[in-house]
Amino acid sequence: MSWTNERVELLKKLWTEGHSASQIAAELGGVTRNAVIGKVHRLGLSGRAKTAAPVAKTRRPRAAAPAASSGQPAATARPASAGQPRVSGATALKADASPAPMARPAVEPMAELVPISERATILTLNERTCKWPVGDPSSEDFYFCGRHSDPGVPYCAHHCKVAYQPVSDRRRNERKVANARAS
């Protein structure tokens, strides 16, 4: 992917609005946060909310070069959910948020007790945060569980149990479920 005018403009906009480099990278898609930061610097629009620059920091010589030129870069930022509309709640969330947990069997009483500090918004979710929706998507109080989940597993340990319970009879699904519980 290259830095087209449009992408640069979007970058400027989001950066100015205070989005983090990783969030911007996610919205742009096809770039890592490093790429975003690098571009930001080249554009000369760094130092967003900084006071005085300390300057001078004795950089290290930097180890030997990777030398891994061609082929797959480093498999980083994969736009798993790129191009999120970044809307406020309802609409966007309802559309593609997470696989709405339909029938939810009585698992454990304790469930929706997520510390506010760990709650996630559509922009905070990543490969290792629980994407279990909590509350009414059309409500302002809506949020995603956000607790830790193993990379690749959509939910935290608890919500995995809830989500995959109905089919626990089949040994087929042991892949996901088992892995999810292992941890």
Query: Which residues in this chain contact DNA in the complex, by CB under 7 A?
Result: 1-3, 19-23, 31-35, 37-42, 46-48, 50, 53, 55, 57-63, 65-69, 73-74, 76, 126, 128
Instruction: Copy the structure tokens of residue 3.
Output: 């830095």
Find how far residue 173's CA is from the centre of its chain: 25
| Shortest distance in whole angstroms from residue 40 CB to DNA | 6
Of 62 and 171, CB closest to DNA: 62
Dihedral pair phi/psi, residue 143, rounded to 5°: -160, 170
| Shortest distance in whole angstroms from residue 162 CB to DNA | 23
* Cβ 27 vs Cβ 10: under 8 Å: yes
Of 90 and 127, CB closest to DNA: 127
* Cβ 148 vs Cβ 173: under 8 Å: no
Four-CA torsion 39, 41, 47, 53, nearest 10 degrees: 150
| Shortest distance in whole angstroms from residue 76 CB to DNA | 6
| Shortest distance in whole angstroms from residue 171 CB to DNA | 30
Of 62 and 170, CB closest to DNA: 62
39, exposed or middle or buried, with CB in 10 Å at 0-12, 13-18, 19+? buried
Of 41 and 94, CB closest to DNA: 41
CA distances from 32 to 55, 79, 134 (A): 26, 10, 29
Of 30 and 85, CB closest to DNA: 30
| Shortest distance in whole angstroms from residue 142 CB to DNA | 21
Query: Alpha helix locations (H) across 43-143?
Result: 90-96
